[in-house]
Amino acid sequence: MSSVLSAITGSAAAADYDDSALLGVYKLPAPVFVAGRGSRLIDAEGREYLDFTSGLGVNALGYGDDGIAEALAVGAASGLLHASNLFRTAPAAELARELVARSFADKVFFCNSGGEANEAAFKFARRWAGAAGGAAKHEIVALHGSFHGRLFGSLAATDRPAYQEPFRPLMPGVRFIPVGDEAAARAAISAERTAAVIAEPVQGEGGVHPIPAEYLQLLRELTTQAGAAFILDEVQCGLGRTGRLFAYEAAGVVPDIVTLAKPLAGGLPMGAVLLTETVASAILPGDHGTTFGGGPAVARVALEVVRRLAAPEFLAEVRWKAERLRAALERLVGNGVVRSVRGVGLMIGIELSEPAAPRVAAALERGLLVCSAGERVVRLLPPLAIEPADLDAGCAILAGVLA
C-alpha cells in the first residue's frame, strides 16, 4: 500500500484537476484527495487531513482497510463483479442471512443507495397496506426535520422545502408531524389512509437530533393499531454508528422495515431494506427490482463490513470512544461559540451560537474534516474504527477552531 500511496501522492493530480465537466451540484473546497489510510485522507500535495466525516458516515472502518481490500480483491479475482438479478449468486444470499440473523427482519432487499432503499420501503409498505386497505391506504407520515433522500418519493418525505420546491410535483400523500407531538401523531396516522410512518431514530441532516424513545414507542403503537408499516431510516445512524448495530435497539421498538446504506459495503454503493415476513409476504415477483442491487462483489465486501461492525467488542469500543469524544466536547460548551453538544455514539452535533460554515472551513485549514447539519450545527461522523489518539488529535483541533 505504501508504495502505491507514494506513487499517487506528489503526482501532478492537483495541477491537472479540472472539474469544468462535472455538474455543479456540490460546492467543493480546494484539496484534491488522492489516498487514505485509517482516519486520514491525503491530498495531491501530500498533506494529511483527519477525517471526522468518514465520507458522510460511509467509511466506518476507515480508509485503506485491509479486510475490505481483500474482500474486494477476491470478488474481482472471481471475475464475477456482476451477474444481474436474473441469476443466483451466493454472496447476496449470505449477506441477507447475516442481516436477518442480527436483526428483527426476516427478508432483505438490496439496492444501491439510501434514497433508493427508502423508495423501495415506501413501495413495500404501500403494497402491504394496500392489500388490506385498498388504494386509499397509501399515505406516508414523516417527521419535521427529516431527511430521507433526493428522489421523488424520498424527497417528498424530506422536510426541506428548499430542496423540494423546484421539483414539484413530488410523490403525493405525505404528511409531516412535529417530533414529540402526540396529538399530531394521533391525528395523522389513520387505519383508512396511512400506509407507513417513517423516522430516523437519530435525525442526521436535520441537525443531529435523537428522537426520544418514548415518541418512537408511540409511533410503533399507533402504526400497529392502524395496520401501517413502521419504517426506521437507519441509513446514517445504523450499522454501529450509535454504538449498537441498529439504532432501534436502544429505543426498545421493533420496526416493520429498516433501511440501510452508507457504511454497508465499505465505500461501495449499496443500500438494503430489511423487512418482517408479514410485510414481505405481500411482495410478489416483479413488484420491484434494480439492475445492480446485491451484486456478488459488493455483497462480498458488505459481508466483511457487517461481520466486523457487529462484533460485540467493536461496538463496545465505539461506545467507549463516543464517551471520550463527548466528554472532550462538553468542555467547550458555554465558551461563547459552542451552545450544546448532542447525538448518540459517534454521531454528534455541536450547536453553535453562530453559522457553522466558517468554522467548518477553519477546521479544514487546520487539517480536520468536519461537516455541517443545518446552519448552526457542526456534525461529526468519525470512522467507527478511529484510533483513540486520532480522536484526541481531532478534538484538540476542534477546541482551537471552536474557541
Ligand X SMILES: Cc1ncc(COP(=O)(O)O)c(C=O)c1O
**Strands 48-51 vs 368-369: parallel, antiparallel or unpaired:** parallel
Number of H helices, E strands in the chain: 16, 17
Which segment (4-12, 111-119, 246-254, 313-321) binds ligand X by CB under 6 A? 111-119
206 binds ligand X (CB under 6 A): no
Instruction: Determine contact, residues 128/288, Cβ cutoff 8 Å.
Output: no
Which segment (68-76, 200-208, 328-336, 351-359) binds ligand X by CB under 6 A? 200-208
Contacting ligand X (CB under 6 A), which of 205, 256, 304, 390?
205
Tell me which residue of 342, 394, 339 sits closest to 370, measured CA to CA: 394
Contacting ligand X (CB under 6 A), which of 148, 193, 308, 321?
148
149 binds ligand X (CB under 6 A): yes
C-alpha cell at 163: 430542496
Tell me whether residue 262 is one of the annotated catalytic residues. Answer: yes
Contacting ligand X (CB under 6 A), which of 110, 147, 215, 248?
147
238 binds ligand X (CB under 6 A): no
CA 345 to chain centre: 14
Which segment (114-122, 176-184, 222-230, 333-341) binds ligand X by CB under 6 A? 114-122
What x-and-dash track marks residues 116-135 binding ligand X by CB under 6 A? Answer: --x-----------------
- For 19-126, list the strands marked E by DSSP: 33-37, 40-43, 48-51, 107-111
**Residue placing its CB nearer to ligand X in the complex, 133 or 210:** 210
Contacting ligand X (CB under 6 A), which of 38, 114, 145, 266?
114
| Selected catalytic residue, list 51, 233, 256, 390 | 233
Helix (H) or strand (E) holding 199, with range, is: strand 194-199
CB under 8 Å to 236, separation ≥6 — which residues? 56, 57, 114, 200, 202, 204, 205, 262, 347, 381
110 binds ligand X (CB under 6 A): no
372 binds ligand X (CB under 6 A): no
Residues in the chain: 403
Applying the rule CB under 6 A, the residues between 257 and 286 that interact with ligand X are 261
Burial letters for 251-280: b for 16+ Cβ neighbours within 10 Å, e otherwise? bebebbbbbbbbbbbbbbbbbbbbbbeebb
**Residue placing its CB nearer to ligand X in the complex, 10 or 176:** 176
| Selected catalytic residue, list 52, 109, 122, 147 | 147
Place of cell 487546520: 366
**Residue placing its CB nearer to ligand X in the complex, 38 or 269:** 269
**Residue placing its CB nearer to ligand X in the complex, 133 or 263:** 263
379 binds ligand X (CB under 6 A): no
Please tell me the distance from the alpha carbon of residue 127 to that of residue 111, in angstroms, as a whole number.
18
54 binds ligand X (CB under 6 A): no
- Count the alpha carbons within 13 Å of 58 in the hemisphere toward its beta carbon: 15
What x-and-dash track marks residues 299-318 binding ligand X by CB under 6 A? Answer: --------------------
Cis peptide before 312 (omega within 30 of 0): no
Active-site positions read: 147, 233, 262
Name the residues that contact ligand X, by CB under 6 A: 113-115, 118, 147-149, 200, 204-205, 233, 235-236, 261
